[in-house]
Chains A and B, each alone.
Chain A
Amino acid sequence: MFSQLFGDPDDISNEANIFSALEFNGRGDLLASGDHGGSIVIHKKNDDIPQKASVRDVEGAENQWQVHCQFQSHEQEFDYLKSLEIEEKINHIQWGKPLGDSSFLYTTNDKTIKLWKVGRHMQRLPGAKYSSIRDGVLSLNRRQETSSAVSAMPKRSYCNAHAYHINSVSCNSDGESFLSADDLRINWWNSEINTSSFNIVDIKPSNMEELTEVITSAQFHPEHCNILMYSSSRGSIKLGDTRRSALCDVCAKVFEEPEDAASKSFFSEIVASISDASFAGDGRYIISRDYLTLKVWDTHMETKPVRVININDSLKSILCELYESDCIFDKFEIAVSPDGQKILTGSYGNQFSVWNKAGYAEHSIELQSSGGRSRTRDAAEADFDKKVLHCAWNPSSNTIALTAQAALYLYKV
């Protein structure tokens, strides 16, 4: 059920407003979104507003979520050594451990990760005098009434650690370290130290001509501090154990479905690239999405996925046109419900779908600013410029967030 809309879905003129990252925080009361222009908008759930009993009422759609804070996270930079521009587009956002009323989030663009603190800060009165001298006696004026406003303060900046484009940031369950992954390497940082990090995975071949796969996403296990997972463009998911050795190139487990020789085609390699992978629930299952399917893996079984859900079968016939228009390289994210049973992902034509782990589609909906469902169009006939790339599932309530170009939709499931 439609809940709220931020932004204008039809406005595609300003590329800076197109969303590129989306994440709920651990408590489920804050939603952070990043866009191509490098700015972050944080929405907060306002619990004061009473819930409407019936959500079918379109005009009375609840405005439970409101803009809480907005700030510019990254600016466009220029790499002088390589003569390349570094885009300010936010690639990934991760929330850290909150402290009191303040929250922390890590944001990253292609090259730099930044840690921000979001909370109430006192605003200074410019030019105020705090001391005065009268008759040779010094006196201190106490603080004048100042307002406090919600703002984001940059805490740390972790730079110059990645030669390739950073695609993910993930916090460790120990609460004080995180990893950052680019196409070929994964680094492990301590939050307090921004001058150096450990490199734990390096898949760069000594001869770059032999490059066959890149890392597409990486994540720490939600509970075990020593396990990390990374997915590759060849369709494999690898689990590394940091306890075994300093470099996790040799993986503890590899989840790869052997290629079906019958259905091999020119596009099968491209289509097999995993766009997003995530641990589900307590970490027993891994859900991964490539262009045409969702796969559910049990971490105890490496040979084949527990379930393969074909979500975009109709696209198989038009892969050629999709390749021509570069749409075949689109990276769709997935989001998993807090209990680990449902999977949310987006598609073309501003559609998204929620799947059950058993393989059944529970919902398949086209995003619309007004409430009510509409019949979904077949994926092959959809508008390929309208893609729902980013999505997130609130860990403490049944709200989901989705982006469609420059618009952010909130739905209740």
Chain B
Amino acid sequence: MEKNKSDSADLYQISLLIDQLRHDDPQIRANATKNIGSIAKALGPERTRSELIPFINESTDDDDDVLLAIAENIGDIQSHVGGAEFYYTLLEPIELLAIVEDGSVRDAAVKAVIPIVDGMPDDHLLTHFVPFVSKLALKDWFTSRISATALFHIAYSRLPSHVQKEFRALFSRLCADDTPMVRRMAAKHFGDLASRMSAPEIQDELLAPFKKLAVDEQDSVRIQSVGICIALAEALPAELRMSEVLPVVLSIASDRSWRVRWSLAVKIAELGNVMGQQVTNNSLCECYENLLRDQEAEVRSAAAGNISKMCSLVRKDITISRILPVVNHIITDSSDHTRASCALVINDLASLLGRDDTVENLLPMLLQLLRDDSSDVRLNIIANLDAINAVIGVELLSQSLLPAIVDLAEDSKWRVRFAIIEHIPRIANQLGCSFFNDKLNNLCMTWLGDDVYSIRRAAANNLCKLSAQFGEEWAKEQIIPRIERMHTHTNYLQRMTALYGIQVLATSLSQTTVEEVIVPLILHMASDAVPNVRLTVARTLNDIVSSKGEKFRSSFLTSCIQPALMTLLDDSDRDVRFYARQASDGVTAVVGGAQ
């Protein structure tokens, strides 16, 4: 009886789900579709095949969200169709999804094909998968041809050679399709197919379409050629790389459209990697220099971002004699973005150049970038100081570093100040304690009094990290006295920041210090005139007790903290009383737990 009841309850749930699949509201339909797997499970394999899949086939003229949900979840049905010999039944709904005009639905449908085909037995590949792909590739709807371009490579290696030849022919046809979007997607998936083919096959059949795509009149198609170059360079032997791929790369580098040149600038390091040392040192290097000097700032930025990667591929003497002079121009480039992307990676060159060459060639550039007008540039240099530190140490930079940091710390944009605060612990680590004490300590304190709340908070966290780095004694000596002074500041915001500062410090200090120094500071403020401060006192006490409670001596808790909380419980302000109640409960729990 019970089993029947739970069964029928389940069935009822499933019935509800099915009705929701056809609900008027598309949101409800989309949500119900995500549970398609459980419906399939409840129906069982036969009925899933004979009823659920046709049901889904009928819903494919639906709202985009629903279609996307179907495409993303159709894989859930796969385990309920009755085994691998029935996987092919799922190809029908996927075919309907693959011709929809919305790109994300098509992508999801294509993705769903992969597990289905991987699990399919080989003979089914021939009887079901191959016709499926051919149909999509030859249909007159351009969207189906777009989806087809992504399908050729999926089971290619498992197919017999005459079918592989058919597929290659179909693919070449799509590469020359009338519709620009189809050619573009064929170019995008070219590499996937090429990587599964053997070199002679590529040479015979794919090189011609490749070259045509590389000179296509549509910019959007030519942009994809760099990806193809990389894939072909990996698949082809060295002589073919030189004779077939390299000329195309050189023509891309001098393309009329800046977007095509940009696509090369972005991937040039990857390309250099696969083309091999000799080609990179000779021809690609020259290409790269031209990209660094391109007339369009976007191209220069993309190229500049790859400086360190390219230099790691070429010989050191070439780096010094050819690339560094161009980099010298980039640091005075008119576009902020270019200089900023250069600053991000330039530090990495230090390890490639070695100590002496860094000092001679790289250091002047770094110093100039540290004095740049744009704050992004200066921030990017400082962000990556580790790389320099490892090679030459920061002392040589410290002269220029300090003014740069001070400038950034006082920048009018708060996000810039925020960013520099994030870097301070690392800089402090590299510069050492004494340097920090002299120069940067005051800065960190001023931040605690900044106008912007996020800065004050970040500054307090900063102090916490510093005290963890430099040790408790340092904290007691340098930081705590100053925080004490903040406690008596006239501005209540400062006093609250001081409280937050102590709270985070408490996490990195020893128990005795907390009891002797920190808690009294907090309690001192319990009688502040401003309720916000008193409220924060209660919250801080709560935080400290709950995080470190067990470590406190219970006598300490009862003698010091609880009386203070008692007074707060009688406070005139409602919020103060609330938080005091919370803190008090927390203390009681700890005391009780200890006992």
A-side interface residues toward B, CB under 8 Å? 97, 99-100, 102, 104, 117, 121-122, 124, 126, 128-133, 136-140, 142-143, 153, 155, 173-176, 192, 224-226, 242-246
Contact = CB atoms under 8 A, between A and B. Distances in A.
A245 B258 contact: yes
B303 to A, nearest CB: 15
19 contacts: A99-B101, A130-B19, A131-B14, A136-B4, A136-B8, A137-B11, A138-B11, A140-B18, A142-B51, A155-B101, A174-B180, A174-B220, A175-B179, A176-B181, A243-B258, A244-B258, A245-B295, A246-B297, A246-B298
Nearest to B63: A153
B407 to A, nearest CB: 26
B220 A136 contact: no
Interface in B217-258: 217-220, 256-258
B554 to A, nearest CB: 57
A225 B219 contact: yes
Given A99-B143, A155-B64, A225-B217, A143 B18 contact: no
Interface in B7-26: 7-8, 11-12, 14-15, 18-19, 21-22, 24
A143 B58 contact: yes
Contacts of B18: 130-131, 138, 140
Contact of B257 (A126, A176, A226): A226
Interface string B58-93: 100101100000000000000000000000000000
> Closest 7 interchain pairs by CB?
A243-B257, A131-B18, A131-B15, A140-B51, A174-B180, A192-B103, A138-B11
B101 A117 contact: yes
A204 to B, nearest CB: 20
A145 to B, nearest CB: 12
A100 B104 CA distance: 19
A130 B8 contact: no
B52 interface: yes
Given A225-B218, A242-B219, 7 more contacts: A130-B19, A131-B19, A176-B220, A226-B257, A244-B258, A244-B296, A246-B297
Contacts of A99: 101, 141-143
Contacts of A122: 61
A245 B256 CA distance: 10
Contacts of A138: 11, 14-15, 18, 42-43
A57 B84 CA distance: 69
B465 interface: no
Contact of A142 (B19, B55, B257): B55
Nearest to A192: B103
B420 to A, nearest CB: 29
A2 B343 CA distance: 70
- Report, as a range, how many residues of chain B touch the other chain: 35 or more
B259 interface: yes
Contact of A174 (B19, B47, B181, B296): B181
Interface in B108-145: 141-143
B54 interface: yes
A245 B141 CA distance: 34
Contacts of B22: 124, 128, 130
A392 B22 CA distance: 42
B101 A102 contact: yes
Given A100-B141, A225-B218, A243 B259 contact: yes
B216 to A, nearest CB: 10
Contacts of A153: 63
Contacts of B7: 136
Nearest to B139: A100
Most chain B CB inside 10 Å of its own CB: which residue of A131, A139, A244? A131
B296 A246 contact: yes
A124 to B, nearest CB: 6
Contacts of A175: 142, 179-181
Contacts of A173: 180, 218
Contact of A226 (B4, B58, B219): B219
A117 B61 CA distance: 12
Contacts of A155: 64, 101-102
B44 to A, nearest CB: 10
Contacts of B14: 131, 138
Contacts of B141: 99-100
A324 to B, nearest CB: 49
A243 B256 contact: yes
Contacts of A100: 99, 141
Interface in B245-303: 256-259, 295-298
A136 B52 CA distance: 18
A131 B23 CA distance: 12
Contacts of B295: 245
B181 A133 contact: no
B515 to A, nearest CB: 54
B307 to A, nearest CB: 21
Interface in B184-204: 184
A411 B138 CA distance: 40
Contacts of A226: 219, 257
A138 B14 CA distance: 8
A318 B142 CA distance: 54
Contact of A130 (B21, B42, B259): B21
Given A124-B24, A140-B55, A142-B54, A132 B217 contact: no
A242 B257 CA distance: 8
A117 B18 CA distance: 28
A131 B268 CA distance: 58
A132 B298 contact: no
A133 B19 contact: no
Contacts of B217: 224-225
A342 to B, nearest CB: 28
A245 B296 contact: yes
A194 B110 CA distance: 23
A96 B297 CA distance: 33
B142 A174 contact: no
B258 A129 contact: no
B72 to A, nearest CB: 17
A190 to B, nearest CB: 10
B220 A225 contact: yes
B578 to A, nearest CB: 36
Given A99-B141, A136-B7, A138-B42, A174 B51 contact: no
B11 A133 contact: yes
A99 B179 CA distance: 12
A362 B252 CA distance: 49
Contacts of A140: 18, 43, 47, 51-52, 55
Interface in B518-552: none
Contacts of A139: 51
A242 to B, nearest CB: 8
Interface in B305-344: none
A132 B8 CA distance: 12
Given A128-B22, A155-B64, A225-B219, A133 B8 contact: yes
A153 B67 CA distance: 15
A175 B52 CA distance: 36
Contacts of B220: 174, 176, 225
Contacts of B52: 140
Interface string B129-164: 000000000000111000000000000000000000
B8 A174 contact: no
